[in-house]
Amino acid sequence: MKSYPNKWLELGYSQADITKRIEEAFAAIFTEEGERFYYPMGEDAGYLMDTGNYDARTEGMSYGMMMCVQMDRKDLFDRLWCFSKRYMWHADGKHQGYFAWSVGVDGMRNAQGPAPDGEEYYALALFFASNRWGDGDAPYDYSNQARDILKHCVHQHELVEGGHSMWERSNHLIKFIPEADFSDPSYHLPHFYELFALWANEEDRPFWKRAAEASRVYLAKACHAETGLAAEYAHYDGTPETTRGHSDFFSDAYRVAMNIGLDCAWFGKTAEYQVIVDHLQTFLHGKEPFMTYTVDGRAIDPPALHPIAIIVTTAAASLATDTELSREWLYTFWDTPPRKGERRYYDNCLYFFCMLMLAGEFRIL
């Protein structure tokens, strides 16, 4: 049985206190009145609301499903999946098999196009659900649903007239959106692709194995050699994409550190990851209040929209290293409560994931 590092236990916190913090972070999302942003809808559905934008996004819906399968909450998982299939999934058209990335809390679509970070989280959450609870009748035949999502991600250009796949076939790198010719470093989840290489349709398993390898190489290029910072959008060579206003270390980019941490927890540390994290933790140390930063480290406006997210993801990257500074980041995270107020959605989603992975409880199921 695989073991997972428990950084909180290593620091001397009790398992009872660790479990309590995880449960509190989950409650802040799903059950705590006045703070939660999960809402049931009718008898069988539910959604996570982006509290800053008052919509439901595939990002949050798929995150919520991953949270629920990790916490063994099939009831909530199925409600989120039901909402996603009923209101977000495309049954036809050029986006057939994909999910509309943003809908109103009434289910009306704000956009038709998909965002690939949602599809990859949906797929792995569904595989985990199948492994944990078994498959049921459609749409709760979780493993079939996951394989169908991944089939479209790789083959949309072949399956649907006018369709675009979510991965660039020539280099195995995920795109920002299917029509784009650039990427988003925070979308790169090589630890997910290792599992897709085991569970996707058999003919696509070699593709996913190569995608895992390509994404690890890509992350080493996309993170600045001195600061460890990544841009929100980046070209396939890792350099920031500068024409769309997302070339800096801002909201999306915070997730790169968290993703590196979880890859290390699941598949082992690497020297490349340790270098990135050591540089990142050194650069961000003492920077509060956090700003937006160019990847080479110049502070610019606006101030960080999600400062709690910076703290927790940078601490989660400690799964890639073990230094006095990395432990200081962990103590800072432990002393930081979940965010309250209008912008709590994004921060508290990442807060929960990072708390869970640092406890060794974000597991391959």
Compute the distance between CA of residue 290 and CA of residue 274 in angstroms, rounded to an integer.
23
The CA distance from 99 to 151, in Å, is 14
Give me the phi and psi of 320, to 5 degrees please.
Answer: -100, -5
Q: Work out the angle at residue 7's Cα, subtended by the Cα atoms of residues 6 and 11, and round it to the nearest 5 degrees.
A: 120
Q: Which of 204, 252, 263, 347 is catalytic?
A: 252
Residue 202 designated active-site = no
Asked if 56 and 48 touch (Cβ cutoff 8 Å), the reply is yes
Name residues whose C-beta falls within 8 Å of residue 11's C-beta, 6 or more positions apart in sequence.
327, 330, 331, 334
Beta bridge partners of 47: 39
**Closest by CA position to 222, among listed 257, 179, 195, 193:** 257
Active-site hit among 59, 117, 119, 120: 59
The closest of 360, 325, 352 to 336, measured between CA atoms, is: 352
Q: Is 10 marked active-site?
A: no
**What is the phi/psi pair of residue 109, to 5°?**
-75, 130
What residues are labeled active site? 59, 252
